[in-house]
Amino acid sequence: MSRVLVITTSLRAKSNSDILAEQLIAGAKAAGHEVKCVSLKGKTIGFCRGCLACQKTQKCVLNDDAAEIAEKVKNADTLVFVTPIYYYEMSGQMKTLLDRMNPLYSSDYRFRKVYMLSVAAEDEPFVPEKALSGLKGWVDCFEKAELAGSLFCGGINEAQEAAERSEDKHEAYEFGKKLQ
């Protein structure tokens, strides 16, 4: 089975996306995957400066938490990004992290499958499209990887509301079981 890395990007304590990520993780473990989770809560991740020094060294010139996360991303077989949807897009902290993964571009990264779990107050099917497009743009830069799937759980607004949403929790669990 795969080494799965789940990256939760909500900064809210006990967020709805974290609640659903827990279900996804349980499903992935039930399927026999080795799962690790990294939360961006409490992490310091600066903006990419675009200097491209990392393309020669595989290391960023900034000294913050992104380097440790990048190493975990590099060594995972499967990545799952979990994000709340803000203004029809991935969270800003997720985008900042993706930008800071630039040192991996010229490295011998392991990941092949990338997934996204997103959560929003709005529940129309188009809501996660821009976030998915942004993640796909990142994935497309890694020729050995593919965006392998996504799950959108909409209509979840109030703090910790996902804990009461048995159908969404079941979907997240099943999504986790199907990771490759």
Burial of 90 (0-12, 13-18, 19+ CB in 10 A): buried
- Predicted local distance difference test score (pLDDT) of residue 51: 95
Banded model confidence at residue 180, pLDDT cuts 50, 70, 90 = very high
- How far is the CA of 66 from the CAs of 8, 71, 91, 100, 165, in angstroms? 14, 9, 16, 7, 33
29 vs 177: CA distance, rounded Å: 8
Token output for 93: 């902290």
Per-residue pLDDT tens digits for 102-142: 999 989 999 999 999 999 999 999 999 999 999 999 999 99
Domains recognised in the chain with CATH numbers: 3-177 (3.40.50.360)
CB 100 within 8 A of CB 26: no
- Predicted local distance difference test score (pLDDT) of residue 30: 98
Per-residue pLDDT tens digits for 40-74: 999 999 999 999 999 889 899 999 999 999 999 99
User: pTM of this prediction?
Assistant: 0.97
